[in-house]
Structure 1
């Protein structure tokens, strides 16, 4: 097995270095730490080009790294070991992988699950694999704002400042689907059915459900509610709902589909961005079209069996 460590993931969280665990429990694994400017795909493809190709891939990192490694595992037809090393670790939590030890135990027991995913294609470009969700609107703007402050303020404080600024400056955008235009605060396209009360479906609730759960937050409410809708923690969302800061039910349209497409028009002066599994993309041009397709049983992931 080839394990890649992304040292740039999860810098806002203090956790134990897993190097000793890898050495003791996975002595036959090749462990590679990504260096500055080193591309994850280049390392993996080089390993498969050699004479001793790995029979499994492992990733210690955040959701963006996990998503990219999932695409590579699917490409090379090998199972994936996911070890939480990021800040939120949405996919790892959905898979019951709360820590590295649990993930390693699943690997050693050869416990696996077939995971559905989705491919997202921007225009006529190459599709990318997403495990959790993709979004346009207020959430990508918040991520872009946070990333500009991350180096100076850190991820958590940068996120707070970004949320405050986005709450003051966010504007709706136009999306066109099936020939109809809608003015929206955000659109989330998640993998698998999710909590119907949520708008920001960043963490999936099951691994196998081959459906896209789409939430379209129409721009009828206030900017404050638009930002409050981005709360993806159950407790936070419950508190915001209790104080009536979450969007009204009639303002959020829900669709369950196996495929979905939309053209996005951010408007003058607005950032042309979208995000998938925490990874920010910046299209060229004043508008862009995104195509989403669910992929049943997209890859095999080592995970504890449900009890």
Structure 2
């Protein structure tokens, strides 16, 4: 199942690659407005391998149906951002196709949030807006200063939420949850050394204290955020976050839903088999 318009035309290149390298494969081009998960569920009963081509949102849909149906996933990079395939080590689609020919798969974890799967990250509150602001400034200011400016801007615009995180009260507008432990520490996580540690990476900024935004910005500028009492980073197998009043946005691998007030996170260790060449 390939989105031919993904990645500024990379999807169309994937279709040509598949038809040339795996001529016996059934290639389905996803039409505009189609429900990818519904279409994958429709074809899964006759599949031996479930293949998807696109970006991280496409990978999440493929992983969802692959886990449901017990099929291995052929993940073909074809989006703008390809965090999952990069971390697995198959950012080159030919490496994934070679793995199919050899029959080699690895088992990776998938995260769950309110019953839905994610392969990379999830967040609540204004974290997606913070990331967009930070990435827009990085090329001019560098990562530390861009992160500091983005925190100040985001916290100035947003009203912090009162949260209960596993029963403990915090005040925050920025909460990040990763499927597996991310590197580096701090509020610019970008890659994972492994995808099978069975843990979630929980990070949040607690802004319920005096001058919190300024203190966090100074910690980011000096590279000492992980030592700040306002920054929380934990590795957990599960967590429950309750919004004390109202609701919040919930992001999952780039897909956003609204009006969530009780959010339960978990991990399905080794639930997804992905084709990947043996490690060197």
The TM-score with structure 1 as length reference comes to 0.74
Q: Which of 192, 196, 199 matches 1:211?
A: 199
Deviation per residue, 1:138-171 (Å, 9 max, x gap)? 22345899xxxxxxxxxxxxxxxxx797576234
Cα distance in 1 between the residues matched to 2:170 and 2:39: 43
In the TM superposition, residue 273 of structure 1 has moved relative to its aligned partner by 0.8
Cα distance in 1 between the residues matched to 2:119 and 2:98: 22
CA distance 1:174–1:95, shift in 2 (3 Å)? same
Deviation per residue, 1:82-104 (Å, 9 max, x gap)? 11111221111000112212221
Cα distance in 2 between the residues matched to 1:5 and 1:224: 46
Cα distance in 1 between the residues matched to 2:130 and 2:182: 22
Cα distance in 1 between the residues matched to 2:160 and 2:132: 16
Please identify which structure carries the higher helix content.
Answer: 2
CA distance 1:168–1:99, shift in 2 (3 Å)? farther
Structure-1 residue corresponding to 2:48 = 55
- Kindly indicate whether the alpha-carbon contact (under 8 Å) linking 2:10 and 2:79 is maintained by their aligned counterparts in 1: no
1:177 aligns with 2:165: yes
1:192 aligns with 2:180: yes
Count matched residues: 259
CA distance 1:6–1:171, shift in 2 (3 Å)? farther
Q: Which of 3, 7, 19 matches 1:6?
A: 3
Deviation per residue, 1:242-264 (Å, 9 max, x gap)? x4377453122122211110013
Task: Describe the SS at the equivalent of 1:23.
Answer: helix
Higher mean displacement: 206-215 or 186-195: 186-195
- Kindly indicate whether the alpha-carbon contact (under 8 Å) linking 1:132 and 1:204 is maintained by their aligned counterparts in 2: no
1:222 aligns with 2:222: no
1:43 aligns with 2:39: yes
Task: Describe the SS at the equivalent of 2:266.
Answer: strand
Runs (5+) with no aligned partner, structure 2: 134-149
In the TM superposition, residue 42 of structure 1 has moved relative to its aligned partner by 1.9
Q: Which of 92, 100, 109 matches 2:85?
A: 92
1:279 aligns with 2:252: no
Q: Which of 24, 27, 50 matches 2:23?
A: 27
Structure-2 residue corresponding to 1:296 = 269
- Kindly indicate whether the alpha-carbon contact (under 8 Å) linking 2:73 and 2:274 is maintained by their aligned counterparts in 1: yes
- Kindly indicate whether the alpha-carbon contact (under 8 Å) linking 2:19 and 2:27 is maintained by their aligned counterparts in 1: no
Cα distance in 2 between the residues matched to 1:166 and 1:104: 42
The TM-score with structure 2 as length reference comes to 0.81
Task: Describe the SS at the equivalent of 2:6.
Answer: coil
Cα distance in 1 between the residues matched to 2:215 and 2:97: 42
CA distance 1:14–1:6, shift in 2 (3 Å)? closer
1:120 aligns with 2:113: yes
Q: CA RMSD in A?
A: 3.0
- Kindly indicate whether the alpha-carbon contact (under 8 Å) linking 2:5 and 2:12 is maintained by their aligned counterparts in 1: no
Task: Describe the SS at the equivalent of 1:263.
Answer: strand
Task: Describe the SS at the equivalent of 1:5.
Answer: coil
1:244 aligns with 2:222: yes
Structure-2 residue corresponding to 1:253 = 232
